[in-house]
C-alpha cells in the first residue's frame, strides 16, 4: 500500500499568520469591509500634498541658493553648513530604514498602520546619498576641504596619517561610499516595492520575504551606518577616534526618524486621513520610541564623553577641548539640557505621548536638537586648523541656510512621495492586530 502525500485543503501557508488560504481570504474580506479602510481614509490626493511640497521646495531652494552664495565667499563654511543638513536628513531616512527592518523582523503588529510612512521616508534615502556623493566629490576634487586626510600625499611625513592610510585613502573611500549607497538604496527600495506589491496582490509570502531580508539587512545597516559616520563625521579630525561613534550616530538616526514619522502622521491626521487607523495608541508607542532614544542618545553621548574625559588621552581629548572653547561650551550646556534633560522630563508623561499635537511639537523640537547635534559634530571643525578665526554667531545665517535648504528639499520630496501609494499597507498579514491596537499600561 502506497501513501501519496497531498496538500491538505486547510494546510496553513508557511508565513506568520499560520492561516489557510481560505481563512486568509476571509480575513482580507473582513478588513476590506471595515469602514475605516475606506478609499477616502487611506489615500491622500496628490493635489493637497503638492501644495505643501511647493512651500517646502521653495524654502529648500532659497536655502540652497543662499548656501551656494556663501560658498563663493567662504567655501569651507558653506560645505560645513550643507553637511549639517545632509547628515540630519541621512539620519532621518536611515533611521526609518532601521525601524522598517525592525518591525519586519520582530513581526511588530502595532506599527503596521504607521509602517508605510517609515517606508516612504526610508526609500528617499537616495536624496541624502546623492548629496553625500556631492560632498564627497567636492572633497576629493579639492583635495580635502574638511576631510584633511584626503589631501595627504606623503610628501610631508605625518605618522598618524601614514598608519591610518590603509583605511583613510581616496580610492577605498570611494569604494566604501558606493557600497553604503548600494546597501541603503537597495534595501529600502526593495522593502517599499514588496510592501506596495502586497497592497495589490495580498500575497502573504511578501511579508515573509521582507522578514528574511530584514534579518540580513539589520547587520548590514549597522555596519554601513557606523562606517559612513566614521568616514564623514569622525574623520573630520583624523586624529580623533571613538569606538562609540557608530552608536552615537545611530542614536540620532533612530530618534530623528521616529520624530519625523510622528510629524508626518500628525499632518495626515490633521488632513483628516487615517481616522481610526492611527489612533492615540499608535502615537503613544511612537512617543515611547522617541522617549527611549532620547535616553539612549544621552547614555551613548555621556559614555563617550565620560571615558574620554577620564582617560585623558590627548588624541581623543582634543575633540572635546576644541568644543569647550570659542563659545561651543554653551552648545554643550544646551545639548545636555535640551537634548536630554527637558525632553526626558516632558516625554516621561503619558499625556505628552498620547496627545497628537503635543507629541508633534516634541518631535519638531527633537529634530532641532538632532540638527544641533550634527552642528556640534561638524561646525567646530570648519575653522579648526585654519588661519581664520571662528566667526561664531555672525555667520549663523549660513548654517541655517544649509540646514533649511537640505531639509526643505527632503521634506518636499516626502510630501510628494506620500500620495503615491495607500497610507498604510492594506493587506499586511498582521494588519488586523494593528487595527485594534491598545496600550494596557
Partner 1 sequence: MDMKNLINDAKALGADYFPMFLRKPAPKFVTESGNPVFGIVAEFDETPKVFKAAKKVRDAGYSKWDVHTPFPIHDMEEAMGIKTTKLPLMAGGAAVTGLCIAILLQWGTTDWLYPTVVQGKPFDAWQPFVPVMFELAVLLTAFMCIFGMLALNGLPRFHHPLFSHERFCRVGNDRFFIAIEATDPNFDPEKTKALLEEIGGTDITLIEDVS
Q: Which positions touch partner 1 (CB under 8 A)?
A: 302, 305-306, 309-310, 348, 438, 440
Q: Rank residues 201 and 324 by Cβ distance to partner 1 and give the closer one.
A: 324
Least distance (Å) between residue 388 CB and partner 1: 32
Least distance (Å) between residue 302 CB and partner 1: 6
Least distance (Å) between residue 306 CB and partner 1: 6
Q: Rank residues 379 and 437 by Cβ distance to partner 1 and give the closer one.
A: 437
Are the beta carbons of 394 and 164 closer than 8 angstroms?
Answer: no
Least distance (Å) between residue 360 CB and partner 1: 24
Longest dimension (CA), the chain: 93
Q: Rank residues 24 and 305 by Cβ distance to partner 1 and give the closer one.
A: 305
Q: How far apart are CA 153 and CA 369, in angstroms?
A: 38
Least distance (Å) between residue 315 CB and partner 1: 18
Q: Rank residues 320 and 365 by Cβ distance to partner 1 and give the closer one.
A: 320
Q: Of 371, 361, 365, nearest to 406 (Cα)?
A: 371
Q: How far apart are CA 73 and CA 134, in angstroms?
A: 19
Q: How far apart are CA 439 and CA 228, in angstroms?
A: 37
| CA-CA-CA-CA torsion sign (26, 31, 32, 34) | positive
Q: 399 phi and psi, to 5 degrees?
A: -60, -45
Are the beta carbons of 380 and 321 closer than 8 angstroms?
Answer: no
C-alpha cell at 331: 552648545
Q: What is the dihedral of CA 124, 126, 128, 132, to 10 degrees?
A: 170
Contacts of 299 (CB under 8 A, 6+ apart): none
Least distance (Å) between residue 310 CB and partner 1: 7
Least distance (Å) between residue 384 CB and partner 1: 24
Percent helix, strand, coil in the chain (nearest 5)?
Answer: 75, 0, 25
Strands, DSSP E only, in 100-177? Answer: none
Q: Rank residues 82 and 305 by Cβ distance to partner 1 and give the closer one.
A: 305
Are the beta carbons of 382 and 77 closer than 8 angstroms?
Answer: yes
Are the beta carbons of 132 and 177 closer than 8 angstroms?
Answer: yes
**What one-character-per-residue DSSP string does 328-380 give?**
HHHHHHHIIIIIIIHHHHHHTSHHHHHSHHHHHHHHHHHHHHHHHHHHHHHGG
Least distance (Å) between residue 258 CB and partner 1: 22
Contacts of 45 (CB under 8 A, 6+ apart): 419
Q: Rank residues 163 and 337 by Cβ distance to partner 1 and give the closer one.
A: 337
Least distance (Å) between residue 399 CB and partner 1: 29
Q: How far apart are CA 225 and CA 244, in angstroms?
A: 13
Least distance (Å) between residue 342 CB and partner 1: 16
Q: Rank residues 173 and 305 by Cβ distance to partner 1 and give the closer one.
A: 305
Q: Rank residues 292 and 384 by Cβ distance to partner 1 and give the closer one.
A: 292
Q: Rank residues 310 and 330 by Cβ distance to partner 1 and give the closer one.
A: 310
Helices 46-73 and 396-417, packing angle to 10 deg: 150
Q: Rank residues 111 and 308 by Cβ distance to partner 1 and give the closer one.
A: 308
Q: Rank residues 43 and 336 by Cβ distance to partner 1 and give the closer one.
A: 336
**What one-character-per-residue DSSP string does 62-112 give?**
HHHHHHHHHHHH-HHHHHHHHHHHHHHHHHHHHHHHHHHHHHHHTT-STTH
Least distance (Å) between residue 299 CB and partner 1: 9
Amino acid at each position: 500500500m502506497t501513501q501519496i502525500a497531498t496538500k491538505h485543503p486547510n494546510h496553513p501557508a508557511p508565513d506568520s499568520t499560520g492561516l489557510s488560504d481560505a481563512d486568509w481570504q476571509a480575513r482580507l474580506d473582513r478588513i476590506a469591509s471595515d469602514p475605516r479602510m475606506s478609499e477616502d481614509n487611506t489615500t491622500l490626493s496628490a493635489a493637497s500634498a503638492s501644495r505643501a511640497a511647493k512651500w517646502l521646495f521653495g524654502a529648500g531652494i532659497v536655502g540652497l541658493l543662499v548656501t551656494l552664495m556663501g560658498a563663493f565667499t567662504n567655501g569651507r563654511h558653506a560645505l560645513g553648513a550643507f553637511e549639517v543638513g545632509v547628515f540630519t536628513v541621512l539620519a532621518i531616512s536611515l533611521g526609518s530604514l532601521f525601524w522598517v527592518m525592525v518591525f519586519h523582523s520582530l513581526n511588530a503588529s502595532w506599527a503596521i498602520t504607521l509602517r508605510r510612512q517609515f517606508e516612504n521616508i526610508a526609500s528617499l534615502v537616495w536624496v541624502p546619498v546623492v548629496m553625500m556623493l556631492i560632498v564627497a566629490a567636492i572633497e576629493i576634487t579639492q583635495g580635502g576641504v574638511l576631510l584633511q586626510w584626503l589631501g595627504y600625499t606623503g610628501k610631508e611625513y605625518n605618522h598618524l596619517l601614514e598608519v591610518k592610510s590603509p583605511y583613510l585613502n581616496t580610492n577605498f573611500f570611494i569604494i566604501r561610499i558606493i557600497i553604503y549607497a548600494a546597501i541603503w538604496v537597495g534595501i529600502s527600495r526593495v522593502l517599499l516595492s514588496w510592501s506596495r506589491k502586497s497592497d495589490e496582490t495580498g500575497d502573504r509570502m511578501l511579508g515573509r520575504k521582507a522578514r528574511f531580508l530584514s534579518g540580513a539587512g539589520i547587520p548590514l545597516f549597522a555596519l554601513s551606518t557606523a562606517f559612513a559616520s566614521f568616514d564623514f563625521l569622525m574623520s573630520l579630525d583624523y586624529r580623533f577616534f571613538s569606538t562609540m561613534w557608530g552608536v552615537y550616530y545611530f542614536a540620532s538616526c533612530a530618534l530623528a526618524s521616529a520624530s519625523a514619522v510622528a510629524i508626518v502622521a500628525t499632518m495626515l491626521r490633521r488632513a483628516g486621513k487615517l481616522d481610526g487607523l492611527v489612533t492615540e495608541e499608535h502615537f503613544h508607542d511612537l512617543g515611547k520610541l522617541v522617549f527611549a532614544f532620547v535616553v539612549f542618545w544621552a547614555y551613548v553621548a555621556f559614555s563617550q564623553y565620560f571615558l574620554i574625559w577620564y582617560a585623558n588621552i590627548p588624541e581623543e581629548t582634543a575633540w572635546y577641548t576644541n568644543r569647550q572653547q570659542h563659545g561651543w561650551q554653551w552648545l554643550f550646556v544646551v545639548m545636555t539640557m535640551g537634548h536630554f534633560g527637558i525632553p526626558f522630563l516632558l516625554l516621561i508623561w503619558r499625556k505628552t505621548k498620547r496627545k497628537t499635537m503635543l507629541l508633534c511639537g516634541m518631535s519638531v523640537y527633537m529634530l532641532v536638537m538632532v540638527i544641533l547635534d550634527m552642528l556640534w559634530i561638524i561646525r567646530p571643525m570648519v575653522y579648526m586648523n585654519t588661519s581664520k578665526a571662528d566667526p561664531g554667531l555672525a555667520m549663523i545665517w549660513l548654517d541655517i541656510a544649509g540646514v533649511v535648504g537640505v531639509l526643505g528639499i527632503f521634506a518636499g520630496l516626502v510630501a510628494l512621495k506620500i500620495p503615491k501609494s495607500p497610507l498604510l499597507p492594506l493587506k499586511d498579514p498582521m494588519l488586523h492586530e494593528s487595527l485594534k491596537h491598545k496600550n494596557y499600561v
